[in-house]
A and B are shown apart, each in its own frame.
Chain A
Amino acid sequence: MAKILLEMKNITKTFPGVKALDNVNLKVEEGEIHALVGENGAGKSTLMNVLSGVYGYGTYEGDIVYDGEVCKFHDIKDSEEKGIVIIHQELALIPYMSIGENMFLGNERGKKAAINWDETYGMAEKYMKQVGLSESARTLVKDIGVGKQQLVEIAKALAKNAKLLILDEPTSSLNESDSRALLDLLLSFKKEGMTCIIITHKLNEVSYVADKITVIRDGATIETLVKGKDDLSEDRIIKGMVGREIADRFPKRKDSKIGDVNMEVKDWTVYHPLYTERKVVDHVSIKVHKGEVVGISGLMGAGRTELAKSVFGRSYGTNISGTLLLNGKEVHLKNAKDAIRHKLAYVTEDRKGDGLILGNPIKVNTTLANLEAISSHSVIDKDKEYAVAVEYKEKLKTKCPTVEQNVGNLSGGNQQKVLLAKWMFADPDVLILDEPTRGIDVGAKYEIYCIINDLVAAGKSVIMISSELPEILGMSDRIYVMNEGRIAGELNREEATQEKIMSCILKSSSKGE
Chain B
Amino acid sequence: MDKAKLKVGIQKYTMIIVLVLVMLFFTWGTQGKILLPQNITNLISQNAYVFVLATGMLLCILTGGNIDLSVGSVVCFVGAVGGVMMENMKLPVVVAVILMLLMGAVIGAWQAFWIAFLRIPPFITTLSGMLVFRGLSNVVLGGKTLPIKSEMFVRLFGGGANCYVPDFLGGGEGLNRVALLAGILACVIYIFVTVRGHVNRVKKGYDTGNVGAMYGKMVVICAVILAVSYKLAQHKGIPTSLVWVLIVVLIYGYITSKTTIGRYFYAVGGNEKATKLSGINTDKVYFIAYTNMGLLAALAGMLTIARMTSAQPTYGQNYEMDAIGSCFIGGASAYGGIGTVPGVIVGAVLMGIINQGMSIMGTDQNMQKVVKGLVLLAAVIFDVVSKKKNS
Contact = CB atoms under 8 A, between A and B. Distances in A.
Does A pair with B? yes
Interface of A: 16-17, 312-313, 315, 335-341, 346, 348, 353-360, 364, 368-369, 371-372, 375, 378-380, 382-383, 386-387, 390, 422, 426
A283 B206 CA distance: 51
Given A348-B274, A353-B273, 10 more contacts: A339-B279, A340-B279, A353-B271, A354-B273, A354-B277, A356-B274, A357-B337, A360-B267, A368-B263, A380-B258
A370 to B, nearest CB: 8
16 contacts: A17-B4, A336-B276, A338-B279, A346-B277, A348-B277, A355-B277, A356-B271, A357-B270, A357-B337, A364-B263, A368-B278, A368-B280, A379-B259, A380-B262, A387-B206, A390-B207
A354 B201 contact: no
Given A17-B4, A360-B266, A379 B278 contact: no
B260 interface: yes
A337 B280 contact: yes
A353 B273 CA distance: 7
B277 A315 contact: yes
Contact of B275 (A346, A368, A375): A368
B335 to A, nearest CB: 9
Given A378-B260, A383-B206, A359 B337 contact: yes
A74 B203 CA distance: 55
Interface in B267-303: 267, 270-271, 273-281
Nearest to A372: B260
Nearest to A402: B207
Contacts of B259: 375, 378-380
A406 to B, nearest CB: 10
In order of increasing CB-CB distance, the 3 nearest A-B pairs are A357-B270, A337-B279, A369-B278
A359 B337 CA distance: 8
Nearest to A408: B391
A353 B277 CA distance: 11
B258 to A, nearest CB: 5
B293 to A, nearest CB: 20
B36 to A, nearest CB: 40
Contacts of A372: 260
Contacts of A371: 260, 263
Contact of A357 (B4, B206, B260, B267): B267
Interface residues of B, number: 27
B267 to A, nearest CB: 6
A380 B273 contact: no
B206 A386 contact: yes
Nearest to A390: B207
Given A17-B4, A336-B276, A368-B275, A386 B207 contact: yes
A354 B274 contact: yes
A335 B279 CA distance: 7
Nearest to B254: A379
A312 B281 CA distance: 14
Contact of B267 (A312, A313, A368): A368
B274 A336 contact: no
B204 interface: yes
Given A16-B4, A360-B337, A364-B263, A337 B270 contact: no
Nearest to B201: A383
A339 B281 CA distance: 13
A233 B263 CA distance: 49
Most buried by A among B206, B207, B260: B260
Given A17-B4, A358-B270, A379 B258 contact: yes
B17 interface: no
B261 interface: yes
A336 B267 CA distance: 15
A382 B207 contact: no
B271 to A, nearest CB: 4
Contacts of B206: 383, 386-387
A356 B389 CA distance: 24
Interface in B61-119: none
Contacts of B271: 353-354, 356-358
B200 interface: yes
B338 interface: yes
A341 B278 CA distance: 11
Contacts of A337: 279-281
Nearest to B335: A359
Given A356-B271, A371-B260, A383 B277 contact: no
